[in-house]
Structure 1
Amino acid sequence: MAFVAVIAIAFASSDITSGAFGGISGSQTIAVVGEENVTTSEFRREINGAYSTVRQSNPNLSLPAFLTEDTVDQIFNRLANGYVISEYAKLNGIGAGKRIIDSEIANSPAFTNVAGEFDEESFRAQLQAQGFAEKDFRGLVARSLYAEQLLTPVTYGLDVPSGLVETYAQITLQSRRGRIAAVPSTLFIDDKNVSDKALQDFYAEKAADFTIPEQRSIQYAVFNRNQIVDQVKVTETDLKAAYETRREEFQAKETRTVKQVILPTEDGAKALVATINGGKSIDSAAIDIGLAASDIGPVTKGEYSSLASNAVADAVFTTQQGKFANLAQSSLGWHVVQVTAVTKVAARTLDDVRSELQAGVREEKTRQALSDFTVSLEERLEDGISLATIAKDEKLELKKTPLITAGGLAPKDREFQAEPAVRLVLQEAFQLEEGSNGRLKETTPGVEYVLYDVPQIAAAAPPPFTDNKPAILRAYRFSKASDEAEKLARKLADQTTSAETLAKAAADSGYNLPAIENVGANREQLANSQQRVPPPLALMFSMKEGTAKVLEGPADQVWYVVYLEKIDQGDLSKRPDVLAAAERDIQAAYGGELQQQFISAMRNAVTVERKETIIKSVIEDLTGTNASGG
């Protein structure tokens, strides 16, 4: 595993609802692997990362619907496997010491400044923002290093059978065409009255579909440097101190701009001077001997001395503008130098540079005051002083959002628009445990900050029946209509043996069905497409030629009858690039399978004790199905 990827996964996994866990603290143990404890906070982070990934392709998926028993097991195993690898490595004398962990962190682009150097302040700020204790983060890095040492050799020199590669490549070139008939549920909507009992039973059965993700109210106060600037005063003493610090900069000085050619011997330098005295310019004379005159400056004598030598600088800075300096030598050779410009700058007094110094001093004092202020705020927050008290003391406007989801939406206030400052703290706010101290976040570097806390948390749960009755009734009617649409779709599929029979069955159905679509594609196009492949088209690539299948559409809206008319295998002999790509893909798949088998073997050598009660409580709190959450 690449370390940068580990960091990205760890940080990205905090961007979706995390849950407050009620009475479950982040320090509780969901499993003991060897001698290491796996905590609820790590488990939550893994769940958030997995949920975030799935929601990119299915944004309407609720957390309760996502957290099936199989999904929970997969997430747990992925987390536990990191510890299994680590413990197995230790048992077999493989190390990941502090020095190499420090090196990995220091060399990570995630924690470097604009100069490409490790920035400890950025490192600690990112850990704090994402809720990572440094010890936990170092553990994550160590586990990634153990995994790299153990799993990389497993796939070294891996070879795969050529026959398998060719078969896979051939499949990649397949083209398929067929027909898709849609049976909309709206054709079967029944508007008759439905009893509350039937709706309540339906609501109880489909509760996960109606569940609103966890919501939080965020209380916050924004402040910026302008509030600090007004309080900063620049005194005469400040200006005198700044002037003394920069006194050398304000002294009288002379700068020169020169053209120079450096030759290895004195005789060569004299010959070049003779050519120049004969009427040629220094540029032309240098070109004649295969060299080029370089332009330097404007530079002071000290600056030029560091580029050449004291002797060359003495010669140049005693020469008039337009003239050539006496030949002098540096470690680079003999210098032929023409002084092209001389600029003299008079000394500047404090009064001359007062405005310049005042701006600089004000900026420095503002930065320091801002730093002192933010440190003071963080200390007060850590001491448990409430956000309301701090806002009152500092005369900051305190605001509060309604209950909102991790995406910034307010289910009970559709008109609500979260301020930019709120959106910037959403990730962190949904990581805080209930009752946590307030936090400070820099929203615009060096300019704007926000203080925030989470005064109210509403667990994920479906809304009350009476508040949601219209939506329940609509879903109920579509569910019943979908059942009827499925019956018709299956009837059409049973009657379909060709494109013609599908068309006849649709026409004879007695319903005004949408026109049948004639579709076609090849696997390569679909693989390279940036768009999501429509499910009916994807289904065609798992069917036998001349068959029909039924596919359910999203949200009880439609059923599809998919008929695969023709498969074209394509000509692999003309596509060596496809063959090469197939080999790479299969090697990757082989490698992943071998690594998984090795991890399974490691689990047989390392004790994994799973705390089912704690895991169940975490899931119940996240999904709002525990006793306290309803």
Structure 2
Amino acid sequence: MLASFRRLSKSTVGTAIMGIILILILVGFAMGDIQSVISGGGFRGSSDTLVKIGSKTVTDRDMSRAMERRLSQARQQNPSADYASIAADWDPLLNAVIDARTVEAFAHKFGFVLSKRLVDAQIANIPGAKGLGGKFTDASYQNFLREQRMTDEEVRMIVSSGLLQQLIIAPVVVNAKAPVGMATPYASILLEGRSGEVAFVPTAAFRQGLNPTSADIDRYYAANQRRYMVPEQRVLRIAKIGPEQVANVQPSDKEIDDYYKANSATYGSKETRVITQAVAPDQATANAIVQRIRGGQTFAAAAAPAGFTPEDISVGPQTKEQFTATAGANVAGAAFAAAEGATIGPIQTANGWNVVKIDKIEREGGKSLAAARPEIVQKLVADKRKEAIEAIVDKVQDALDGGASFPEAAAAGKLTPIETPPLTASGSSPANAAYKFPADLAPALKSGFELGEGDEPVVDSLPNDGGYVLVAPARVIPAAPAPLASIRERVTQDWIASQASQRAQQLAQSIASKVGKGSLADASKGAPVAVKVEPVNARRIQLSQFQGQVPPPLAMLFTLGEGKSRLVAGGQGEGFYVVKVDKIIPGNALNQPALIGRTQQEMQQALAEEYGAQFTNAMRQTVGVKRNEKAITASKARITSTGS
């Protein structure tokens, strides 16, 4: 079983299952108020309850949060996205939330409990909860919660839900295999061959001579206003808190001197001393050794009568810290205060009477204050300016916490505010094509479009140690069609393209209706523009080379029955195609076992998804799912009709 789980995380199916967890985290639906117990028949619950799943519920607030998260995700790809543009995601999101709650209710019903330790381990692996060292830190986790606008409880609920799906559903879908008898017919379909004809009617051939009147343009603009919508615009108030505000901050001479002294281990020279030492058991023995040394004997000769060998008295090179550990602070202090060649002692210690000789003093490295000053100044300037910036941020935040407006908070920090022209969420200005929103203030643009018009200003951090920025929306301009006068030339070209497309479609439809059992070449005779007719031959397996972007006429070739023809529009608005299928040649994969095997593998994901869906449906039936369709419809209408 454990091996199966390991394989799951690396397989295509495993990626799909793990994707469910990612979706839940991106959606981040709120998990509050899910413990209400439902009893009796029919649908009973609070007015905002959309679905009941056993003892769990999906509320209007859950879906509001789900769509809010989905909108935030969509705006990463399309900054002008709004709730209306993601309305199609409502039903899939609702089903995803229902499925997640179904697994929770199923696990609760049968006593499947996750340990807090397991949930903690998953939270510790969230990238945003890790510090610079790559390890989980509480500060990083709290910052992650603030950025995601979530609580610890919500994150734990989401992680628990994802783990339950992984542990309960994953074993059902692991190793889903399609038998050879199932895969062979599908493999044979891939070998199917088709031949026919394609006639192309170009739109461009009908553009010449189209000259719309003013009334034509007005009518077309009125009928297609959504096409010319200008996204919501906002005027943002911004005040940067950065190095510019603290450029005059410099350390004092005393601060530089204090830093040098406090870091003497870094800037001071390293001193070692070659030391010889004898520790006599009594003072008389120690005095005798000292007298012999002063009489001209070497330390080794002077210590020999007391029973010391050269190995006994050799201490070797020592730093003050090392010798302190060996001989004690009193002896080490005296030894490192003495000159080279001096003999010290006897000094009484806990071990006896110490006699020490300084054989040699060695010094290396070190910087004087003058030499170290530039790098100390650079370090202190960076630290002091960072502290000064943080102090400004504290003043601004304190003002905001006290209910200050944007101008008042900016004044509290002595900031210079600016006001942008009307901007879209992408940072462009419809009224000034040359305007570019400063790239270093990108967090302000994001927050400026997330805040409501009356919301409290926020302070965002800037990337690359750029400081901070205070931001608030000054004015919100709802999405609206661009004035016709400003886009008249564009509307004119769109009208011409529309008329040309209609005429090309009429001609293509005429050809399709006349072809019957004849050829497209015969049906195209007498056309007012040149119609290109070409033969086409292909096998279904060739469609895979287009990676899902199959040209419309080729896709139509494998849709029609033999002898049938149909009109299809070009994918790029280039014109219309009439496709006729003359012959279908069935495929036979019995002699191609490799293709059958590949088809088995490709069917594995579909089978796994089917198994997962069937198991989820079974869980729904087990725990009971009741939908309040009226509340669902009202919630969907309310949320998806919101502009932003």
Change (3 A) 1:62 1:249: closer
1:67 maps onto 2:87 in alignment: yes
CA contact (8 A) 1:252 1:347 kept: yes
Q: Which of 99-108 and 403-412 deviates more?
A: 403-412
Deviations 1:125-179 (A, max 9, x none): 3443344344433332222122212211221343323222233344456666665
CA contact (8 A) 1:216 1:430 kept: yes
CA contact (8 A) 2:553 2:577 kept: yes
Tell me the residue number matched to 1:598: 615
Q: CA RMSD in A?
A: 4.4
Tell me the residue number matched to 1:389: 408
Tell me the residue number matched to 2:504: 485
Tell me the residue number matched to 1:368: 387
Change (3 A) 1:186 1:448: same
Alignment equivalent of 1:144, drawn from 117, 139, 162: 162
1:405 maps onto 2:424 in alignment: yes
CA contact (8 A) 2:57 2:101 kept: no
Take 2:75 and 2:541, find their aligned partners in 1: how far apart are those partners? 28
Structure with higher Rg: it is 2
Deviations 1:18-75 (A, max 9, x none): xxxxxxxxxx95735424534354232354278569x79xx9999746635xx53333
Take 2:182 and 2:168, find their aligned partners in 1: how far apart are those partners? 27
Take 2:637 and 2:121, find their aligned partners in 1: how far apart are those partners? 39
Take 2:138 and 2:192, find their aligned partners in 1: how far apart are those partners? 53
The TM-score normalised by the length of structure 2 is: 0.67
Q: Any stretches of 5+ residues in structure 2 without a counterpart?
A: 1-13, 29-46, 274-316, 327-360
Alignment equivalent of 1:506, drawn from 524, 536, 547: 524
Which SS does the other structure have where 2:426 is aligned?
coil
1:449 maps onto 2:472 in alignment: no
Shift, 1:606, TM fit: 3.6
CA contact (8 A) 1:503 1:516 kept: yes
Take 1:404 and 1:552, find their aligned partners in 2: how far apart are those partners? 37
Change (3 A) 1:204 1:228: same
Q: Which of 460-469 and 131-140 deviates more?
A: 460-469
Which SS does the other structure have where 1:447 is aligned?
coil
Take 2:390 and 2:195, find their aligned partners in 1: how far apart are those partners? 66
Which SS does the other structure have where 1:622 is aligned?
coil
Which SS does the other structure have where 1:166 is aligned?
helix
Q: Which of 470-479 and 125-134 deviates more?
A: 470-479
CA contact (8 A) 1:29 1:39 kept: no
1:542 maps onto 2:559 in alignment: yes
Take 1:569 and 1:238, find their aligned partners in 2: how far apart are those partners? 88
Take 1:243 and 1:384, find their aligned partners in 2: how far apart are those partners? 45
Change (3 A) 1:580 1:537: same
Deviations 1:446-501 (A, max 9, x none): 23433322223333443456766665555455444433322221222234479x92
1:225 maps onto 2:243 in alignment: yes
What residue identity is the alignment partner of 2:643? L
Alignment equivalent of 2:637, drawn from 599, 606, 616: 616
Shift, 1:240, TM fit: 1.7
Take 1:343 and 1:523, find their aligned partners in 2: how far apart are those partners? 85
Alignment equivalent of 2:109, drawn from 75, 88, 91: 91
CA contact (8 A) 2:80 2:425 kept: no
Alignment of 1:170-249 (within 5 A): 170-172=188-190, 179-188=197-206, 190-193=210-213, 195=215, 199-200=218-219, 206-237=224-255, 239-241=257-259, 243-247=261-265
CA contact (8 A) 1:239 1:357 kept: no
Tell me the residue number matched to 1:259: none
Deviations 1:536-562 (A, max 9, x none): 344444344554322234686632323
Take 1:576 and 1:195, find their aligned partners in 2: how far apart are those partners? 66
1:101 maps onto 2:119 in alignment: yes
Which SS does the other structure have where 1:353 is aligned?
helix
Tell me the residue number matched to 1:551: 568
Which SS does the other structure have where 1:362 is aligned?
helix
CA contact (8 A) 1:4 1:110 kept: no
CA contact (8 A) 2:194 2:539 kept: yes
Take 1:111 and 1:405, find their aligned partners in 2: how far apart are those partners? 31
Take 1:179 and 1:397, find their aligned partners in 2: how far apart are those partners? 70
Which SS does the other structure have where 2:643 is aligned?
helix
Alignment equivalent of 1:431, drawn from 435, 450, 455: 450
Alignment equivalent of 1:76, drawn from 65, 88, 94: 94
Alignment equivalent of 1:167, drawn from 178, 182, 185: 185
What residue identity is the alignment partner of 1:151? I
Alignment equivalent of 2:66, drawn from 15, 34, 43: 43
The TM-score normalised by the length of structure 1 is: 0.68
Take 1:108 and 1:568, find their aligned partners in 2: how far apart are those partners? 54
Tell me the residue number matched to 1:116: 134
Q: Which of 217-226 and 3-12 deviates more?
A: 3-12
Q: Any stretches of 5+ residues in structure 1 without a counterpart?
A: 15-27, 256-299, 311-341, 624-630
Q: Which of 167-176 and 598-607 deviates more?
A: 167-176
CA contact (8 A) 2:569 2:575 kept: yes
Shift, 1:529, TM fit: 5.2
CA contact (8 A) 2:49 2:58 kept: no
Take 2:134 and 2:254, find their aligned partners in 1: how far apart are those partners? 38
Shift, 1:101, TM fit: 2.5
CA contact (8 A) 1:478 1:556 kept: no
Which SS does the other structure have where 1:67 is aligned?
helix
CA contact (8 A) 1:225 1:446 kept: no
Take 1:351 and 1:301, find their aligned partners in 2: how far apart are those partners? 29
Shift, 1:106, TM fit: 0.7
Tell me the residue number matched to 1:459: 478
Which SS does the other structure have where 1:456 is aligned?
strand
Shift, 1:611, TM fit: 4.2
CA contact (8 A) 2:83 2:641 kept: no
Shift, 1:216, TM fit: 3.1
